[in-house]
Amino acid sequence: MSKDRVVVVTGIGATTPVGGDAASTWSALLDGRSGVRTITEDWIDSVPVKFAGLSAVDPGDVLPRPEARRLDRAEQFALIAAREAWQDAGKPEVEPTRLGVAVGSGIGGITTILAAYDVFKEKGWNRLSPFTVPMLMPNGSAGWISIEIGAQAGTHSPVSACATGAEGIAYGVQMIKDGRADVVVAGGTEAAIHPLNIGSFAAMRAMSTRNDEPDRASRPFDKGRDGFVLGEGAGIVVLESEEHARARGAKIYAVAAGAGYSSDAHHIAQPEPSGAGIQSAMRRALESAGLTGADIVHVNAHATSTPAGDVVETIAIKEAVGTHPLVTSTKSMTGHLLGGAGGIESVFTILALTERIVPPTINLDDLDDGIDVDIVRAEPRKLPGGQIAAVNNSFGFGGHNVAVAFTSV
């Protein structure tokens, strides 16, 4: 099997705080609509952050009840997005042993764990759902997707906090390049809007507390940013060898041209201040894709709206790629989906290439000092015609940096 196989994207799926599928999500992003809103749960008084990017469509309204009750919410999002992507790809006929899955979650089934522990304490072990373990395990989503589509080439679940979704896609690309599979369903999912998570992230002072203006709270690159906004949902793509896709006449969105990884080895939760690790990941992504910085017209930035991270990333983009790409942070509208972020943001990067338009970073009223890259503010901006390329950045607690490069077809 050739090592230089070309990998293409033939299907996309997403369920996010701004839309229940990829199309409605994309249209909301181009309209600059925020999905962040006030949480109305009865536990809200126990935490200092009163808002989040709640999913636009509740998965319980989409899935049949018997199915939903045996899935953690993160698995529900993943299955919904995977089904959309699989359908969008035309449900490819593929040998089961040539079909893989690479879908992870940053945190896993935390709402299941906590609810199950309450049942355990109050009613005893015998009242735990027999599905508790498959619901709480972070590889549960990947397992369910593999069963759904009959994937037997290998089912994988990278776990790298907020880089998880991008790492899933990077891993899926590599599976096909290495000749282990012809088709891989890849991405990330998260469902972590729970008071314990909010409390724990708030304890790190990592979250925005702009409780009086939830839809203005996620403001990457803005001087007034005060932390990230938690979001939930999933983003999934169908990756396919170009040969396989062409042979069946599939619609091709983009080429998943390459990926780069690095790790900061610096601090468990803070970005390395020079951005050297981010630069390495981006450079390696370009190298593996056979691209140069000049080819990159767009970067979907990780930029989460924390004071520490956003400016460092722009410096790294400038060093590794240049100041010319149109940079945006769609987290300004979706919030931060943690393990789902790299999944949905890869979908957005792919759509930016196919539609030749970059969604804006909203809430960017006062650009922070030290930012030299071209950030798309307020309104979407057009990308040029011809052969173009874009990068999706995703970074995670633990020091993980992942960059995935896509090119137009």
Partner 1 sequence: MALTEQEILAGLGKIVNEITGIPAVEVTPEKSFVDDLDIDSLSMVEIAVAAQDEFGVEIPDDQLKHLKTVKDVINFIQA
Give residues in contact with partner 1 (CB under 8 A): 64-67, 69, 126-127, 129-131
Nearer to partner 1, 129 or 200 (CB): 129
Nearer to partner 1, 30 or 113 (CB): 113
Least distance from partner 1 to the Cβ atom of residue 86, Å: 21
Least distance from partner 1 to the Cβ atom of residue 137, Å: 14
Nearer to partner 1, 120 or 131 (CB): 131
Nearer to partner 1, 40 or 126 (CB): 126
Look up residue 12 and give its amino acid. I
Least distance from partner 1 to the Cβ atom of residue 140, Å: 13
Q: Of the listed 156, 194, 244, 336, which one is catalytic?
A: 336
Least distance from partner 1 to the Cβ atom of residue 64, Å: 6
Nearer to partner 1, 133 or 247 (CB): 133
Least distance from partner 1 to the Cβ atom of residue 130, Å: 4
Active site residue 302: yes
Nearer to partner 1, 43 or 117 (CB): 117
Nearer to partner 1, 63 or 308 (CB): 63
Active site residue 162: yes
Least distance from partner 1 to the Cβ atom of residue 213, Å: 42
Assign 3-class secondary structure to the chain.
CCCCCCEEEEEEEEEECCECCHHHHHHHHHCCCCCCEECCCCCHHHCCCCEEECCCCCHHHCCCHHHHCCCCHHHHHHHHHHHHHHHHCCCCCCCHHHEEEEEEECCCCHHHHHHHHHHHHHHCHHHCCCCHHHHHCCCHHHHHHHHHHCCCCEEECCCCHHHHHHHHHHHHHHHHHCCCCCEEEEEEEECCCCHHHHHHHHHCCCECCCCCCHHHCCCCCECCCCCECEECEEEEEEEEEHHHHHHCCCCCCEEEEEEEEEECCCCCCCCCCCCHHHHHHHHHHHHHHCCCHHHEEEEECCCCCCCCCHHHHHHHHHHHCCCCCEEECCHHHHCECHHHHHHHHHHHHHHHHHHCEECCECCCCCECCCCCCEECECCCEECCCCCCEEEEEEEECCCEEEEEEEECC
Q: Sort 63 into a burial class: Cβ within 10 Å, 0-12 / 13-18 / 19+.
A: middle
Nearer to partner 1, 64 or 386 (CB): 64
Least distance from partner 1 to the Cβ atom of residue 134, Å: 8
Cα 273 to Cα 91, 266, 267: the distances in Å are 45, 9, 10
Q: Of the listed 244, 298, 302, 400, which one is catalytic?
A: 302
Active site residue 244: no
Q: Sort 328 into a burial class: Cβ within 10 Å, 0-12 / 13-18 / 19+.
A: buried
Q: Of the listed 162, 194, 244, 400, which one is catalytic?
A: 162
Q: Sort 120 into a burial class: Cβ within 10 Å, 0-12 / 13-18 / 19+.
A: middle
Half-sphere exposure of 380 (CA within 13 A, CB side): 20
Least distance from partner 1 to the Cβ atom of residue 298, Å: 44
As annotated, the active-site residues are: 162, 302, 336
